[in-house]
Amino acid sequence: MEAIELRTEAKAIRFLKSNVIILILIALVAVFAVLSPNFFTVSNLVNILRQCSVYAILSFGMTFVIISLGIDLSSGSVLALVSCVTAMALAAGANIWVALIVGVLTGAVCGAFNGVMIAIFKIPFFLATVAMMFIARGLALVITHESTVSGVPKSFAIFGGTTSFPIPPQLIIAIIVFVILFVVLNQTKLGRYTFAIGSNEETCRLSGVNVEKYKILIYMVSGICSGVAGVVMVARMATGSPIVADGFEMDAICAVAIGGTSMLGGSGSLSKSAIGAVVLTVISVGLNIVGVSSSMQRIVKGGLILLVVAIDMMRHRSKYLG
């Protein structure tokens, strides 16, 4: 009987550990629903899905990078650059699909540049992506003369604007990106080597893996996700803006960390990152509804990052101490 009770207790602990993020989400929804009758309405839930889609797309790329024991601090600025380039292409009369491709390719080039600087020139990922953060934001300001870009056609709304679809189009795009990257992460060499590089880069190199090549590809994935998110942002705002997405890279990191991807590399989950993005959005929208200032929300997000990273460090203490 005692053995049965121990097994039951062990199963319960495993269930809590594997589903803690979902339980947190349910608890947050319940708390905000009690605090404000306006929270649990159809319009607000749709608004949450709209907002979390951009965070989710960014977090998918960030998940690849963090699993590989890196970080991308340029994703928000790359998003802003992509939004400006895409809007300028549309204003110049480009077909909406051509503008979409131009935007995504811009993100891919920025990601590849990050990867080359980190993998080939051995610049620490923190410095390389901070440099790209300044470069991308600066380019966005220069090419737009520090103003917003208008002239986005209404037809571009299919990529994230207000449409007659019952499901927000940006949510559909986020789901498509998730499915593609889920297959890449779990069924391809790039995915396997992403985990391997994050677990032990030197062992991976000694096993014959072209670590430099796959690092570049990993950062390209992050850049592509920033590109897609930038396109969605243009569709949502109907303009391109060089100052949009300020701090979004931290939101993406926060979503990935909340989802349980280890900041020490080697483990992570796209599905948990998606839930982390929803949790982050629920917190932001819920705090807005109950009247908490944006300044206090920044404090909450910062505290969340510290908390989840501290928990991750304690859980992997033996690996962290080397």
Tens digits of residue pLDDT in 137-159: 999 999 999 999 999 999 999 99
Q: Which structural domain, as residue segments, surrounds residue 232?
A: 56-313
pTM, two decimal places: 0.91
| CATH at 246 | 1.10.3470
- Sign for the CA dihedral angle at 234, 136, 243, 62 comes to positive
Q: What is the C-alpha to C-alpha distance for residues 20 and 23, in angstroms, rounded to an integer? A: 5
Q: What is the C-alpha to C-alpha distance for residues 62 and 50, in angstroms, rounded to an integer? A: 19
- Is residue 319, in this structure, part of any structural domain at all? no
Residue 299 has pLDDT above 90, yes or no: no
Q: Domains in the chain: how many in total?
A: 1
Q: What percent of the chain has pLDDT over 90?
A: 65
- Is residue 42, in this structure, part of any structural domain at all? no
3-state secondary structure of 240: strand
Q: What percent of the chain has pLDDT over 70?
A: 91
- In this structure, which amino acid lies at residue 190? L
Q: What is the pLDDT of residue 24?
A: 82
Neighbours of 148 (CB within 10 A): 16
The burial class, CB within 10 Å (0-12 / 13-18 / 19+), for 164 is exposed
Contact 144, 240 (CB under 8 A): yes
Q: What is the pLDDT of residue 139?
A: 98
Q: What is the pLDDT of residue 54?
A: 95
Tens digits of residue pLDDT in 242-262: 999 998 999 999 899 888 888
Contact 36, 290 (CB under 8 A): yes
- Is residue 187, in this structure, part of any structural domain at all? yes
Neighbours of 41 (CB within 10 A): 12
* Weakest-pLDDT range from 12-16, 35-39, 150-154: 12-16
C-alpha pair distances (Å), 125 with each of 72, 114, 221, 255:
7, 8, 15, 20
Mean pLDDT of 208-229: 98
Q: What is the pLDDT of residue 120?
A: 97
Closest by CA to 157, choosing from 99, 211, 102, is 99
Q: What is the pLDDT of residue 23?
A: 83
- Residue 193 tokens read as 């080597």
Contact 105, 124 (CB under 8 A): no
- Is residue 49, in this structure, part of any structural domain at all? no
Contact 75, 226 (CB under 8 A): yes
Contact 263, 312 (CB under 8 A): yes
Instruction: Transcribe 30-48 into DSSP letters.
Output: HHHHHH-TTTSSHHHHHHH
- Is residue 43, in this structure, part of any structural domain at all? no
Model confidence at 321, pLDDT cuts 50, 70, 90, reads very low
- Is residue 7, in this structure, part of any structural domain at all? no
